[in-house]
Structure 1
Amino acid sequence: MNDHHDVHVGLHSEQGALPGEHPGRARNPVIKVADLAWLEFEKPDLRKAETFAHAFGFATAARSADELWLRGTDSGAPCVLIRRGPQSSFLGPAFRATEAADLSRLADRTGSRVTPLPESLGGLVVDLADPNGLRVRVTAGMEVLGALPAQQPHTFNFGHSTARTNSTQRPPREPTRVQRLGHVVFQTTRYRQTLDWYLEHLGLIVSDFLYHPGHRERGPAMSFIRCDQGSIPTDHHTLALMLGPSNRYVHSAYQVADLDALAAGGEYLREQGYQRSWGIGRHIQGSQIFDYWRDPDGFIVEHFSDGDLFDNTLEPGWAPMSASGLAQWGPPATKDFLGIAPGREALRELRAMACALREDNEFDLGRLRGMMKVARS
C-alpha cells in the first residue's frame, strides 16, 4: 500500500476510511456520555501534589488528611481527585452522563449497580471495568461547584487587524489558571477491543485514526475520540487510545485561556524547578497549542488552548503515525514524551514488551516494529 503521505499537509479528513475499515462509531451505543467528569489518582504525598497543582494552575476544591480535590475556574465537578496511598497510581476516569436515566440503562446492560457517590460529591455513579481492568465511572447529578474568577484572554493585534491601541501586552509570569479538564490518553495491549468497548458503552465517536506506516491493512494503532452530542460541537478528543506493550496512563490535558497564559505559566513552572516534557507547539490532530510537564510523581500533564471542536457529522480522518506528525510546529517530540528516555519508565516499557510478546493480545512483533518505526520518524 502506498504510504507516501506528508503529515504536515492538508486538513483533518484528507484521508478518509477505505472500504471495510473501522467506522469510528457504534451503531447502537448503550448511552452517550456528555463529557469527562474527573480523573482519580492515588499518591503518597498530598502536600507535594498540591504544591505542584497550584504551580500548574489548579485551585484546591477540598483538602483532608487523605484526599485532595483539584478544580479549574469553570463551574462543574473537580477536575482531579487524589487519594493518599502507598504508591503513585492512576485509578481511572469518570465520565458525566447526559441524564440520570442513562445510569439505569447502563447498569441494566452491564449487570452493574447504580450507587450513591460520597455526600461531598453528590449524585450517583455506575462503576464499570474496561477490557484492561481499568475502573471507569459514569456519573450523574453531582454537586456543581460555582465558577471562579477566570484568566481573561489577551486582546491581539493580528496583522492589519488592530484591536489594541495605546496599551501594552505584559502577561505576568505566574501560574496560569486551568479552566477545565480536556482529555485523557491511555495505552492498551488490547487496542481494538478497548476502542469498541468505549464506543459501544459510552457512545463516543472517533475523530482521527492513526496507523503504523506501511501497515494500514492491520488497522489503526491510535484513535482520538470525542463525545457525541449531536449538532453540539465537542472537543476533538475527550479520550485517546493507543496500542502499546502495557496498559497505562499516558497523559491528561487541561485547558487554559490562550497562548500567553500557557507560555507565561510554563515559564513560572520552569523557574520553580519542574520538568517540561515537551513543548511549546501546535498539534495536528486536534490543533491544540500544547505544553507538557511532569509532575513530582512522574505523571505527564498538559496545558492546551485553541483546540478543534467537531459535531457528529464529521467522519474520522486516517493518517500514518509518526513522531514528527505529532505537531505542526514546535520542537521535535522529546524522548521523555515518547517514553524512550533512559530511566525507570523506559525500563518498565522494555519489560512490558517482553511480557506482552508472550501473551495473547494485539501487541506482536509486527506492532513492535511499527512502534519503533514511529519513534524514529
Structure 2
Amino acid sequence: MPVDHDVHHGLHVDQGALPGEHPGRHPNPVIKATGLAWLEFEKPDLPRTAAFAADFGFTPTLHTDDELHLRGSLPGPPCVIVRKGRRSVFRGPAFHAADHDDLLRLSNRLGIAPRPLPDTLGGIAVTAADPGGARVRVISGAITHPALPDATAERQYNFRDHPARVNTTQRAPLAPAQVQRIGHIVLQSNRYLETLNWYLEHLGLIVSDFLFYPGQRARGPVMSFIRCDRGDTPADHHTLAMTLGPSNRYVHSAFQVADLDTLARGGEFLRGRGHYRSWGIGRHIQGSQIFDYWRDPDGFLVEHYADGDLFDCSLNPGWAPMTASGLAQWGPPATADFLGVKPGTRSMKEVRSILSALATPDNEFDAERLLGLLKVPNA
C-alpha cells in the first residue's frame, strides 16, 4: 500500500540560513526587553468587552465607565488595557525593561523622556512609535498583582507508568479557560523589514523562525517569530511576530492557559455562549503551541494556547516557506476567516489596502510580493 505524502515534510524548523541571509539579531542592541507587559486597545462598548473577557478567562482589576484592565492568574500587571473610544482600534504593545537603567538608556537613544504611568498601573514608560506606526511602550516599575488561585491545581492525569488518579473520576466543570498570562502579539506591516530591524536594535529581540513566500526566498523573509533574549534563561518561542502585508495593523494576540483540557473546555464554554471560533483546535509548527482562535465582539482575533516552545539565546533562526498547510502539525485546515480571505468587511478592507500599497512606492509590498501572498492559502 502506498504511503501518503506528508505535507509537513520539510516545513519543520530544520532549515538554517543561507549565506548572506538575515542573521535574526542585532549585534549591539540598545537594551534587551525581558517580556511583553500588556496590550492597549480603544473600544466603544466596555460592558460588552468585559462580558467577552470574562467568558474568555480574564480577571478584571479595574472596570470604570472609561477604562478596563484585564489580568491573568500569574503575578504581574494587567495584560490587556481597554479604554473607551469612538471606534475599536489597537493602540500598541508595552514591553518590560530589565531595570530602570535600561529604560534610561533607551530614552537617551530615542531622545524621548520617560513619563509616569497612571497610578492604576504605576511605574514609568518610554513611549515611541515603530516604523509601522504602532505605539510602543517600554516600562519599568509597573504594578505587580499577586497570583490568583490556580483553577487547575487539583487536577491529576493518569499516564501509562505514572498513575496519579485511582478510584477517582475526572469531572472538571464547563467554565472559562483561566488565562494565565499574555503570550504574544502578531502585527502586520508594509514596512516589515524596517520594522523588524527596529525591534531587534532597540529592544534586543531575536528571531526564532523566518518564513518566506513560496519561490521567493531570494527576496528575503516576509514573516518572523521573535523572542526576548534572556541569555541562558529560556524564553517563549515568540513574544512578537511580524508579517509583511499591505497595511499596518493588528493580526492577533495570544494568551496562555494551563493545558489542552483547559483550552478545549474553555472553547466549549465560549461556543456555548455564542462566540465565533475562527480556527482550532490544533498544534502549530513554529512555536508548537496547541491553539484555539476566537473573534471578540469587535472582530479582534484572540488565541488561547498551551505548551509552547521555549528557546534560549543559543538557537539560530529556522527558515521555512509560508504555506497554509505549514501552519499546523495537526488540526482542521486553516479557515478562510483565519487566513483573511473570508468574504466580508475585513477581506474587502484588505483588498483596498492592497490597491493602496501597490499605488504607493514607499513600502515593501509590491506586485511580486502580492503574487507570493496569493499562493499562501493554497500552498
- What whole-Å deviation, never above 9, does each CA across 1:171-223 have from its counterpart, x for those lacking one? 22111110000000001101100100000000000000000111100000100
Amino acid at match of 2:219: R
Residue 281 of structure 1 is matched in structure 2 by 282
How far apart are 1:152 and its partner, in Å?
1.6
d(CA) in 1 for partners of 2:6 and 2:295? 30
Residue 52 of structure 2 is matched in structure 1 by 52
Asked whether 1:112 is paired with 2:112, we answer yes
How far apart are 1:161 and its partner, in Å?
4.0
How far apart are 1:166 and its partner, in Å?
1.6
> Secondary structure of 2:87's partner?
coil
How far apart are 1:160 and its partner, in Å?
4.4
How far apart are 1:151 and its partner, in Å?
2.2
> Secondary structure of 1:268's partner?
helix
- For structure 2, the 5+ residue unaligned runs are none
| Contact persistence 2:36–2:95 (CA under 8 A) | yes
- What whole-Å deviation, never above 9, does each CA across 1:342-372 have from its counterpart, x for those lacking one? 1000000000000000112110111101111
Residue 21 of structure 1 is matched in structure 2 by 21
Residue 264 of structure 2 is matched in structure 1 by 263
Identity %: 63
| Contact persistence 1:13–1:315 (CA under 8 A) | no
Residue 368 of structure 1 is matched in structure 2 by 370
- For structure 1, the 5+ residue unaligned runs are none
Residue 356 of structure 2 is matched in structure 1 by 355
How far apart are 1:6 and its partner, in Å?
6.5
Decide whether aligned partners of structure 1 residues 370 and 59 sit closer, same or farther in structure 2, where only a CA change above 3 A counts: same
* TM-score, scaled to structure 1: 0.97
| Contact persistence 2:11–2:326 (CA under 8 A) | no
> Secondary structure of 2:330's partner?
coil
Residue 135 of structure 2 is matched in structure 1 by 135
* TM-score, scaled to structure 2: 0.96
| Contact persistence 1:234–1:311 (CA under 8 A) | yes
Q: How many residues align?
A: 373
> Secondary structure of 2:50's partner?
helix
d(CA) in 2 for partners of 1:90 and 1:6? 38
Decide whether aligned partners of structure 1 residues 7 and 203 sit closer, same or farther in structure 2, where only a CA change above 3 A counts: farther
| Contact persistence 1:57–1:177 (CA under 8 A) | yes
d(CA) in 2 for partners of 1:157 and 1:314? 34
Greater Cα offset, 233-242 or 154-163: 154-163
> Secondary structure of 1:158's partner?
coil
| Contact persistence 1:180–1:254 (CA under 8 A) | yes
| Contact persistence 1:226–1:237 (CA under 8 A) | yes
Displaced runs of 4 or more, over 3 A: 9-13, 158-161
d(CA) in 1 for partners of 2:253 and 2:67? 20
d(CA) in 2 for partners of 1:124 and 1:60? 22
> Secondary structure of 1:251's partner?
strand
Decide whether aligned partners of structure 1 residues 225 and 7 sit closer, same or farther in structure 2, where only a CA change above 3 A counts: farther
